[in-house]
Amino acid sequence: MDTPPRPTLLPGPGVHPGEGAVASVPHAHRVRLYGALDAVRVPLDVSDVQAVFRLAELDCLTVQTVIDWISAARRLGERE
């Protein structure tokens, strides 16, 4: 059974506090990171969730880079 896509609460990586944000930036980063991991069907354990929370505290550019890495890994996996 496919998991429904997770909602995105903020636009992409260029969003900064006070620029029309619907939720806190770390919360939005967590949603985006979970979405990227869900797209590659990565099951998360407790340590993975802790890592997502820590990553979500980083700046927008860094979080986007991690999401890009996850997406690139997915594309590589599809080629195999």
pLDDT tens-digit series, residues 14-63: 555 555 545 699 999 999 999 999 998 988 999 999 999 999 999 999 99
Specify whether the CB–CB gap between 60 and 15 falls below 8 A: yes
pLDDT at residue 42, rounded to an integer? 85
Tokens describing residue 39 = 């797209």
pLDDT at residue 4, rounded to an integer? 45
Higher pLDDT, 62 or 8: 62
Nearest-angstrom CA–CA distance, 80 and 75: 9
pTM above 0.95, yes or no: no
CA 33 to chain centre: 1
Q: What is the mean pLDDT of residues 61-77?
A: 91
